A and B are shown apart, each in its own frame.
Chain A
Amino acid sequence: MQALALEAVLDFAIISLNPDATVTNWNAGAERLLGYGRKEMLNRSADVIFTPEDRAAGVPERERALALSQARAEDERWHMRKDGSRFWGSGLMMRLPPGTGFLKIMRDQTERHLAQKRIEVSEACFRTLATNIPQVVFASRVDGVRSWAGPQWIIFTGCSERDSLAYGWLDAIDPEDREATRLAWVRAREVGEYYIEHRVWKQATSQYRWHQTRATPLDPADPDQSEWVGTSTDIHELRTLQENQQILLAELQHRTRNLLAMVQSIARRGARDTDSFSEFLDDFEGRMRALSRVQSLLPISDAGAVPIDKLVRQELAAHVSGAEEPGRLTVTGIEAGISAASAQILALALHELVTNAVKYGALRQERGHLHIAWTVTPRPDRSGSMLSLTWRETGVPMPQATPRRRGYGTELLTRALPYQLGANTQLEFTANGVSCSIDLPIANSRSQAT
């Protein structure tokens, strides 16, 4: 008991002072805490235990004045030991009976003071982070009952803090995602972490936006009793990009497989129609080249369009060297886009026309002339436009050179285009040469409409 009492006393510096602050008593606790011996302090001013800054600022005098007028003065500040080291002294100065001086009791509270400071800094840091990061920050119980909503949440959703507490915050979640959002809290209790991707209402733009919400307990050892702190991050752009990428990938896969299927059917068809392998290969390679030429014009996404002008000129350029000549070849038409799906079959059909013209028609014969022209007019029902393309060969004496096999080209023009694209086509072998017209329905320039 005595040892404990002594120990307790040793924890306290107990000092008595004259009215002028000279020391009249200096206990063992004071010796231990302050480093000055009793003898050296007696009759000496106790002001040495204040820091030089406080002394210069008149703190010791103010403390005594306060103790005189109020009977006591709190003493909570940094003090200095004999060796110059500092500690946080927490104590009290009391007035003794008038004219007899003061009694000062003090203990070292450096550890507690620093811990307190650390907590304050940490709290300030959390608050600064929580209120300044772009994410929504919240605090919650393990069952999802919200205890605090950061300012970002209130600004983002337009829900007041009061309306957001408890389960009020669920009102800002897309109704389609509410059940999953609630269930995720049940799962969080099991796995010790909350995680969900859900849509959160954004008041500024009146839309639900995809968010990733996470939360973890402050005390992982006791998640049921601990407060949980979480964030919601706007991942709307990311998700949209991912979705677009998925669509593009699916389109790419679909396009590739369809292209292979087209190649396969062209090959099988060619094999049925021709007698010799070299003949087959000749036709097949020509068609493959036409098909690969049109690939370069296809837009990245199926939603894009292929310029008809480029499609026609590219196919011509592959077979006719040199520029257009007014007397031999003319191409006129305004800019218009056709769908990616239309472009391939149309390119194949044009390829057959060009090949025929080069082998037998206007592009082979001296006096031949080929005129390609197209117009675009709105359809009466306003559902889109009509592309009307005409192919007119003149100066080609017929029927002297009736094509050996015009079956495939004719079939593409008169059967494939109507079947696949809803086109209306006319193909004639006149005494003057081949004449063909294609009326192809096209969608209006693609808008963002879905």
Chain B
Amino acid sequence: MTHADSLAGRRILIVEDDYLIMSDLALELESQGAVVLEPCPSVRQALATITAESRIDAAVLDVNLAGEQVFPVAAALLERAIPFLFTTGYDAEALPADYAKLPRCRKPVDAATLLKTLSAMVGPRPA
């Protein structure tokens, strides 16, 4: 099974303050057939998007958003049982214990690894 199988048509939220990294990731996901929702550079915008969107299949969260930590977004996603992974420039110990065991991709992110992790999260495409 390729990533495209499970990511095609999936609605993915990207929370990342760096435009270059965000746009690269968005292109990568789109090339797999995923639907990239309006990307969010801040916690405030991400929370608004989560509230407004009727369906989000998975999310990619940058831990540090211009000095602001992404954890309120992580909490909102957990509450809605939406799977997500962190991308981080920090070592593991910088994450609170609650999140330390969640999937994480260290920056600079290896696109193949990230796609594989995301695919595993959303599971096979529904028939």
A420 touches B107 (CB 8 A): no
A419 touches B19 (CB 8 A): yes
Which among A250, A261, A272, A302 is the interface contact of B18 at CB below 8 angstroms? A261
A263 and B108 in contact, given A269-B24, A416-B19 (Cβ under 8 angstroms): yes
Tell me how far the C-beta of A36 lies from the nearest C-beta in chain B, rounded to whole angstroms: 83
The CA of A412 and the CA of B23, in the complex, are separated in Å by 11
- Chain A contacts of B18 at CB under 8 A? 258, 261-262, 345, 420
The CA of A268 and the CA of B110, in the complex, are separated in Å by 12
| Per-residue contact bits, chain A 255-268, to B (CB 8 Å; 1 contact, 0 not) | 11110111111101
- Chain B contacts of A254 at CB under 8 A? 64, 89-90
| Per-residue contact bits, chain B 87-127, to A (CB 8 Å; 1 contact, 0 not) | 01111001000000000001111010000000000000000
A289 within 8 A of B: no
Which among B20, B41, B91, B94 is the interface contact of A262 at CB below 8 angstroms? B20
A341 within 8 A of B: yes
A419 touches B89 (CB 8 A): no
A250 touches B90 (CB 8 A): yes
B17 touches A420 (CB 8 A): yes
- Chain A contacts of B108 at CB under 8 A? 257, 260-261, 263-264
Closest to B24 in A: A265
Chain B, interface residues (CB within 8 Å), range? 20 to 34
B90 touches A265 (CB 8 A): no
Tell me how far the C-beta of B82 lies from the nearest C-beta in chain A, rounded to whole angstroms: 23
- Chain A contacts of B64 at CB under 8 A? 254
The CA of A419 and the CA of B18, in the complex, are separated in Å by 8
Tell me how far the C-beta of B93 lies from the nearest C-beta in chain A, rounded to whole angstroms: 10
Restricting to A372-428, which residues have a CB under 8 Å from any CB of B? Answer: 411-412, 415-416, 419-420
The CA of A266 and the CA of B108, in the complex, are separated in Å by 12
The CA of A224 and the CA of B94, in the complex, are separated in Å by 42
The CA of A341 and the CA of B20, in the complex, are separated in Å by 13
B37 within 8 A of A: no
A420 touches B94 (CB 8 A): no
Restricting to A218-254, which residues have a CB under 8 Å from any CB of B? Answer: 250, 253-254
A266 touches B20 (CB 8 A): yes
- Chain B contacts of A415 at CB under 8 A? 19, 23
The CA of A420 and the CA of B17, in the complex, are separated in Å by 6
The CA of A348 and the CA of B106, in the complex, are separated in Å by 24
The CA of A253 and the CA of B89, in the complex, are separated in Å by 7
- Chain B contacts of A261 at CB under 8 A? 18, 20-21, 89, 107-109
- Chain A contacts of B106 at CB under 8 A? 257
Closest to B94 in A: A250
| Per-residue contact bits, chain B 10-44, to A (CB 8 Å; 1 contact, 0 not) | 00000001111111110100000000000101000
Tell me how far the C-beta of A21 lies from the nearest C-beta in chain B, rounded to whole angstroms: 87
B75 within 8 A of A: no
A258 and B89 in contact, given A264-B24, A272-B27, A419-B39 (Cβ under 8 angstroms): yes
Closest to B31 in A: A272
Closest to A345 in B: B19
Restricting to A103-122, which residues have a CB under 8 Å from any CB of B? Answer: none
- Chain B contacts of A250 at CB under 8 A? 90, 94
State the 9 A-B residue pairs at the shortest beta-carbon distance, nearest first: A257-B89, A265-B24, A416-B19, A254-B89, A261-B108, A257-B107, A265-B20, A260-B108, A261-B107
Give the A-binding residues of B (Cβ under 8 A): 17-25, 27, 39, 41, 64, 66-67, 88-91, 94, 106-109, 111
Give the B-binding residues of A (Cβ under 8 A): 250, 253-258, 260-266, 268-269, 272, 302, 341, 345, 348, 411-412, 415-416, 419-420
29 contacts between A and B (CB under 8 A): A250-B90, A253-B89, A253-B90, A253-B91, A255-B89, A256-B89, A257-B89, A257-B90, A258-B89, A260-B107, A261-B18, A261-B21, A261-B107, A263-B108, A264-B108, A268-B27, A268-B111, A272-B27, A341-B17, A341-B66, A341-B67, A345-B19, A412-B19, A415-B23, A416-B19, A419-B39, A419-B41, A420-B17, A420-B66
- A-B contact sample (4 more), CB < 8 A, given A345-B18, A345-B20: A256-B89, A257-B89, A341-B17, A419-B39
